[in-house]
Chain A
Amino acid sequence: MAGFFSTFLSWISGRVFFFSKTAEIAIVGLQASGKTSFVNVIGSGQWSEDVVPTVGFIFRKVRKGNVTLKIWDVAGQPKFRSMWERYCHGVDAIVFILDSADPEKFNTARFELHQLLGQPALTGVPLLLLGNKNDLDGHVPVKDLIRDLQLDKITDRPVSCYSCSMKSQHNLDIVLQWLAGRSH
């Protein structure tokens, strides 16, 4: 009985907001690059200095206008990187977040990114690369990011790259716009 009701309710809500759209997004990237901060900022607008490292993944649902974003925020520590692929399956976009103020990690990040995109199951899934923490001095500009991460070699999917900051919320609007563009 209860099951029937909930089915009915979801059917109703599906009809009422027929103009609403959804996008499913997986967020990956090395540890401490600002993935969970990104979700917090677009979800509740709150930025905090200390965020507990994610163990595994956290799922969040965020509503922006008529677009519902289903976000898989996956942990970035080395032992979890092999599991990124599972959570990128069937998503509408992959967001790869990079700490643009820490160029020493770029090599690792490039390796992990291309490793992930090399998975046959993920062919064609759009990629958004975010160079986070551009409020810090000495951050690397977008042009150099594209070069260092060899984004020009990715030809089988749409790729975008922005420099942004969660702390100052710089460029957040165009990021959200891009994400909304993936909804259906």
Chain B
Amino acid sequence: MAFSKKEDESGLSSYYNNKTTIIQEARVFNESPISPRKCRALLTRIVYLLYVGETFGTQEATTLFFGTTKLFQHKDSALRQAVYLAIKELATTAEDVIMVTSSIMKDMQPNSEVIYRPNAIRALCRIIDPSMAQGVERFFKAAIVDRNPSISSAALVSAYHLFPHAKDVVKRWVNEAQEAVSAKSAGYFGGTVSGGSFFGGGGGQSAAQTVPSSSNITQYHALGLLYLIRQQDRMAVTKMIQQLGGGKSGAGTTLKNAMALCMLIRYAAKVMEEDPNVQRQMVDLLEGWLRHKSDMVNFEAARVICEMKNVTSGQLTKSIAVMQLFLSSPKPVLKFAATRTLASLALSHPTSVAVCNVDLENLITDSNRSVATYAITTLLKTGNEASVDRLIKQITGFMSEISDEFKVIIVEAIRSLCLKFPAKHAAMLTFLSGVLRDEGGYDFKRAVVEAIFDMIKFIGECKEQALSHLCEFIEDCEFTKLSVRILHLLGIEGPKSSQPAKYIRFIYNRVVLENAPVRAAAVSSMAKFGVNSTDEKLNNSIAVLLNRCLDDVDDEVRDRAAMYLKVFKTEKLVEPYIKEDSVFSLAALEAKLVSYVNDAGSSAQPFDVSTVPKISRSQAALDAARPSSLDTIGVPATKKSAAAPLPPSAAEAQSAYAEKLAAVPSFASYGAILNSSAKPVQLTESETEYQVTCVKHIFREHIVFQFNVSNTLPDTVLEQVTMAMQTEDSGLTEDFVLPIPSLSAATSPGIVYVSFTRDEPEEYAIASFQCTLQFVSKELDPTTGEPEADGYEDEYQIEEVELSAGGDYIVPSYTTFGAEWDRLKAGPSLTETFGLGTSMESLKAACDSIIEVLNMEPLGGTEVPTSTSVHTLQLSGLVTGGGGKVLVRCRMTFSQGVGVTLELGVRAEKQDVCQLVVNAVGG
């Protein structure tokens, strides 16, 4: 009754369901005697408002909440159910909700035969705080095993929600949950009443006495709780699956609820993914479920098999047969599910899916466009080259009838098809340019534009045509982002085409007609035409056009135009500003800028940008692709395991070190760090009781060794931990050691700093150090946990620490090798020839070891030799402390018996840098 009332109201004016009105009308809660009908209607409206997204302030919610608690005095069970629904919704915003605890507990007494007992249980878990979970344990244990499925379900679901807050208490209910999951059958209970919908939320609860459900949904809820309790323990989950799975054929299972079985199948999938060893037995179970009487279970099992890692085509046959059956089912949901799974499977196993092609063909004309979309995309992936044209014609027919989301799926399919059958590019390009003119949102247009970008990148023949399609598109494009991207691409690809001039008109039109970001992009794009073209006439026209842009209303556009005009006139600026292929490493740039801003003394001098390492554009794109935390949150956990996040780059690690060092007062006077080692050097074996790693920090006049010491012994504490460093090389004088006062397993790793002064800051001192860890070892008293008074002095020998050219003085930096090499021709240089001997068994090994020793950036893919006998390796780096650039050209030959012969050519901005490099290789 209340339900139908709500339906009527939704059509009424917003006045009736207005928050203020409802708060006004909440007076009815305090009336005497209470009118259950009025109160129910009002409660329904409150819940409705919350449901449609209205929010109540804390004060408002609290007033309403206390109003509803007055209704506990009424016996009307429909009203009481409505009260519980409202309490559940208001519990999150109202204050002092704990007030109703005792009242609710009175309603959920084991002997109370009231219809609203499940509602009381569900409301209780929303209002109690975790510390009280212990107090309600008895009620919950009894309710979970109650013979009435509604009560049992309510208790299980509530326990599920309580679990995150009161793990220890809920864990003790595992036996009851186990009992609930294996209950033979709910059957019919004479005299018991069960109420409410099983999904707790909505308002479908009627006051009429309902028949007990025979759906066994309790099993589903119990299984969910069992898994939640056991999910950390893979063995227990595996056991649970086998136990409930019911033997090889799956016939012996006690689970009667199809949803519970589906859940079990998902758990099985998860276990398989984590532990490939159980795959065999799980697949047996899954194949049994393929023959279950419920469609839902069949589908779930088939889907899991299809999504299994390393699935063989033999394993797939049975599940594909199930899917094929679904394809001709009259139920749209089955058709949809099957086509969707097949569409994703077709990516990895097109030949296995191909057996369904005939059925899929029939679905192309299906009245449900979602099914048709998936059918077509599957066919595109499984089909052969001959059928492509026909399919594309089919798609064009109904593109206008499907939603953007599905259009994107189709465009993605076409995109991968382009790369598979490059010969068909003409048809596909026509299709793409066709849909580009259709109505559609940003996501759809972006998908199309990216597909065309891909074609330009990988299929050379279609480039010119694709570019002209894009030109037409930006003539009438409402998305600034897309216009900017297209203009950028035109700037890169346009000048290489046979007739660059024809694009200029399109680009200049943007300058006249569009908003500021697009105009700025168009200016940059035009400038690239001017610089890259050798046609004098074209260059002049572009200069004229850019001159007109100088009058633009937007600063950015004017600035860009002015800069490019300047660049045109000065030949040597072209290289760094327009053609340059490298960018600064942003993390390193940020760290340097922060230290520059923080250091008051440095502000007298301009920021020295030449010390910031550069990376290539492809490297920068890789860095940008690292998943941000925002991306990873939204991804459902059940999806295929996401690619492991990339480790933080060297530059980021350095900025972290800099922060740590800045916190030590002794180093405050040292100035900015010139360089830190990219990653810590391991000085001990990984399984020893004391573990030491070393990071070196180079300052202008000092060198600081940072030893990260870990004590892995739980029952000893190390005091006065220091590091003794001895060297036979000259050039460095030890200043002081900062010891760790006390180091236990819990406080590990601690840091010992050892500081040295560089006697000649201009020279690159090379040294190797004998290192000994010295400490006082004390046992921990096992009862008190306090260290004993007496300890003994001890030493621990660790591996040598090297201070060398690569990694300590030279950092990798990206540059354009050919041009830089020529530029440095006049500068200091050094050439030396080495025989690396037969220890290097190939050119590849020689390249790897040179890159490792020098720690410089290999350029142009030269780190991978293409020939087995002759190779040239090109390396580039930056020398710390204003040493400038250094380039190395290694020409190598390899012959059997002689090994690798190396001619090392070094060009740098300073002579001693050249010497440093040669010594590093020779030494």
Q: Decide: B76 and A6 in contact? CB cutoff 8 A.
A: yes
Known A-B contacts A24-B32, A86-B66; A57 and B103 likewise in contact (beta carbons under 8 Å): yes
19 intermolecular pairs with C-beta atoms under 8 Å apart: A2-B1, A3-B1, A6-B37, A6-B76, A24-B32, A54-B102, A55-B102, A55-B105, A56-B99, A56-B100, A56-B102, A57-B69, A57-B99, A57-B100, A58-B102, A80-B99, A89-B30, A90-B30, A90-B32
Task: Say whether B657 faces chain A, with CB atoms less than 8 Å apart.
Answer: no
B497-541 CB mask vs A (1 if < 8 Å, else 0) is 000000000000000000000000000000000000000000000
B36 CB contacts on chain A under 8 angstroms: 3, 6
- Residues from 77 to 117 in A contacting B, C-beta threshold 8 Å: 80, 83, 86, 89-90
Q: A2-B1, A6-B76, A57-B69 are in contact. List 11 more A-B contacts (CB 8 A).
A: A2-B208, A3-B1, A3-B36, A3-B78, A6-B36, A55-B101, A55-B102, A56-B98, A58-B103, A70-B73, A80-B99
Q: Decide: A2 and B102 in contact? CB cutoff 8 A.
A: no
Task: Say whether B803 faces chain A, with CB atoms less than 8 Å apart.
Answer: no
B481 CB contacts on chain A under 8 angstroms: none
Task: Say whether A177 faces chain B, with CB atoms less than 8 Å apart.
Answer: no
How far does the alpha carbon of A10 sit from the alpha carbon of B36 in the complex, in Å? 11
A80 CB contacts on chain B under 8 angstroms: 99
A1 CB contacts on chain B under 8 angstroms: 1
Q: Decide: B73 and A61 in contact? CB cutoff 8 A.
A: yes
A57 CB contacts on chain B under 8 angstroms: 69, 99-100, 102-103
How far does the alpha carbon of A54 sit from the alpha carbon of B104 in the complex, in Å? 11
Q: Decide: B102 and A75 in contact? CB cutoff 8 A.
A: yes
Shortest Cβ distance from residue A103 to the other chain B in the assembled complex, whole angstroms: 29
- Residues from 41 to 66 in A contacting B, C-beta threshold 8 Å: 54-59, 61
Q: Decide: B106 and A58 in contact? CB cutoff 8 A.
A: yes
Residue of chain A at shortest CB distance from B105: A55
How far does the alpha carbon of A90 sit from the alpha carbon of B33 in the complex, in Å? 12
Known A-B contacts A2-B207, A7-B37, A70-B73; A56 and B30 likewise in contact (beta carbons under 8 Å): no
Shortest Cβ distance from residue A27 to the other chain B in the assembled complex, whole angstroms: 13
A110-138 CB mask vs B (1 if < 8 Å, else 0) is 00000000000000000000000000000
Q: Decide: A55 and B76 in contact? CB cutoff 8 A.
A: no
How far does the alpha carbon of A86 sit from the alpha carbon of B99 in the complex, in Å? 11
How far does the alpha carbon of A83 sit from the alpha carbon of B37 in the complex, in Å? 27
B44-72 CB mask vs A (1 if < 8 Å, else 0) is 00000000000000000000001001001
Q: Decide: B73 and A59 in contact? CB cutoff 8 A.
A: yes
How far does the alpha carbon of A61 sit from the alpha carbon of B73 in the complex, in Å? 8
B820 CB contacts on chain A under 8 angstroms: none
Q: Please, how many residues of chain A have a CB less than 8 angstroms from a CB on the other chain?
A: 21
Q: Decide: B72 and A59 in contact? CB cutoff 8 A.
A: yes
A1-13 CB mask vs B (1 if < 8 Å, else 0) is 1110011001000
A61 CB contacts on chain B under 8 angstroms: 73
Task: Say whether B96 faces chain A, with CB atoms less than 8 Å apart.
Answer: yes
- Residues from 1 to 24 in B contacting A, C-beta threshold 8 Å: 1
Residue of chain A at shortest CB distance from B2: A3
Chain A residues within 8 Å of B, Cβ to Cβ? 1-3, 6-7, 10, 24, 54-59, 61, 70, 75, 80, 83, 86, 89-90
B66 CB contacts on chain A under 8 angstroms: 83, 86
How far does the alpha carbon of A90 sit from the alpha carbon of B30 in the complex, in Å? 8
B103 CB contacts on chain A under 8 angstroms: 56-59
Known A-B contacts A1-B1, A70-B73; A56 and B101 likewise in contact (beta carbons under 8 Å): yes
A90 CB contacts on chain B under 8 angstroms: 30, 32
How far does the alpha carbon of A70 sit from the alpha carbon of B98 in the complex, in Å? 22
Shortest Cβ distance from residue B395 to the other chain A in the assembled complex, whole angstroms: 54
How far does the alpha carbon of A24 sit from the alpha carbon of B33 in the complex, in Å? 11
Residue of chain B at shortest CB distance from A14: B33
Shortest Cβ distance from residue B72 to the other chain A in the assembled complex, whole angstroms: 5
Residue of chain A at shortest CB distance from B66: A86
B37 CB contacts on chain A under 8 angstroms: 3, 6-7
Shortest Cβ distance from residue B441 to the other chain A in the assembled complex, whole angstroms: 47
How far does the alpha carbon of A24 sit from the alpha carbon of B30 in the complex, in Å? 12
Residue of chain B at shortest CB distance from A73: B102
Residue of chain B at shortest CB distance from A82: B96
Residue of chain B at shortest CB distance from A54: B102
How far does the alpha carbon of A46 sit from the alpha carbon of B103 in the complex, in Å? 20
How far does the alpha carbon of A108 sit from the alpha carbon of B105 in the complex, in Å? 29
- Residues from 577 to 630 in B contacting A, C-beta threshold 8 Å: none
A56 CB contacts on chain B under 8 angstroms: 98-103
- Leading 4 A-B pairs by shortest Cβ distance: A56-B99, A55-B101, A59-B72, A55-B102
How far does the alpha carbon of A10 sit from the alpha carbon of B38 in the complex, in Å? 14
Shortest Cβ distance from residue B306 to the other chain A in the assembled complex, whole angstroms: 50
B728-740 CB mask vs A (1 if < 8 Å, else 0) is 0000000000000
Most chain B CB within 10 A, of A2, A54, A56, is at A56
B79-107 CB mask vs A (1 if < 8 Å, else 0) is 00000000000000000101111110110
Residue of chain A at shortest CB distance from B106: A58
Shortest Cβ distance from residue A17 to the other chain B in the assembled complex, whole angstroms: 13
Shortest Cβ distance from residue B203 to the other chain A in the assembled complex, whole angstroms: 15
Shortest Cβ distance from residue B127 to the other chain A in the assembled complex, whole angstroms: 9
Q: Which of A3, A58, A83 contacts B96 (CB 8 A)?
A: A83
B207 CB contacts on chain A under 8 angstroms: 2
How far does the alpha carbon of A61 sit from the alpha carbon of B106 in the complex, in Å? 13
How far does the alpha carbon of A61 sit from the alpha carbon of B30 in the complex, in Å? 17
Residue of chain B at shortest CB distance from A10: B33
Most chain A CB within 10 A, of B96, B99, B100, is at B99
Q: Decide: A2 and B78 in contact? CB cutoff 8 A.
A: yes
Most chain B CB within 10 A, of A10, A24, A55, A59, is at A55
Residue of chain B at shortest CB distance from A55: B101
How far does the alpha carbon of A7 sit from the alpha carbon of B73 in the complex, in Å? 16
Residue of chain B at shortest CB distance from A90: B30
A2 CB contacts on chain B under 8 angstroms: 1, 78, 207-208
A58 CB contacts on chain B under 8 angstroms: 102-103, 106
How far does the alpha carbon of A61 sit from the alpha carbon of B66 in the complex, in Å? 19
A3 CB contacts on chain B under 8 angstroms: 1, 36-37, 40, 78
A55 CB contacts on chain B under 8 angstroms: 98-99, 101-102, 105, 132
B1 CB contacts on chain A under 8 angstroms: 1-3
How far does the alpha carbon of A88 sit from the alpha carbon of B105 in the complex, in Å? 22
Residue of chain B at shortest CB distance from A80: B99
How far does the alpha carbon of A28 sit from the alpha carbon of B76 in the complex, in Å? 27
- Residues from 778 to 833 in B contacting A, C-beta threshold 8 Å: none
Most chain B CB within 10 A, of A6, A89, A90, is at A6
Q: Decide: B73 and A83 in contact? CB cutoff 8 A.
A: no
How far does the alpha carbon of A104 sit from the alpha carbon of B37 in the complex, in Å? 49
Residue of chain A at shortest CB distance from B36: A6
Residue of chain B at shortest CB distance from A2: B207
How far does the alpha carbon of A34 sit from the alpha carbon of B881 in the complex, in Å? 82
B96 CB contacts on chain A under 8 angstroms: 83
- Residues from 133 to 159 in B contacting A, C-beta threshold 8 Å: none
Shortest Cβ distance from residue B58 to the other chain A in the assembled complex, whole angstroms: 15
Shortest Cβ distance from residue A51 to the other chain B in the assembled complex, whole angstroms: 11
B72 CB contacts on chain A under 8 angstroms: 59
How far does the alpha carbon of A59 sit from the alpha carbon of B73 in the complex, in Å? 6
Shortest Cβ distance from residue B270 to the other chain A in the assembled complex, whole angstroms: 40
B98-120 CB mask vs A (1 if < 8 Å, else 0) is 11111101100000000000000
How far does the alpha carbon of A75 sit from the alpha carbon of B33 in the complex, in Å? 24
B30 CB contacts on chain A under 8 angstroms: 89-90
How far does the alpha carbon of A58 sit from the alpha carbon of B73 in the complex, in Å? 9
Residue of chain A at shortest CB distance from B100: A56
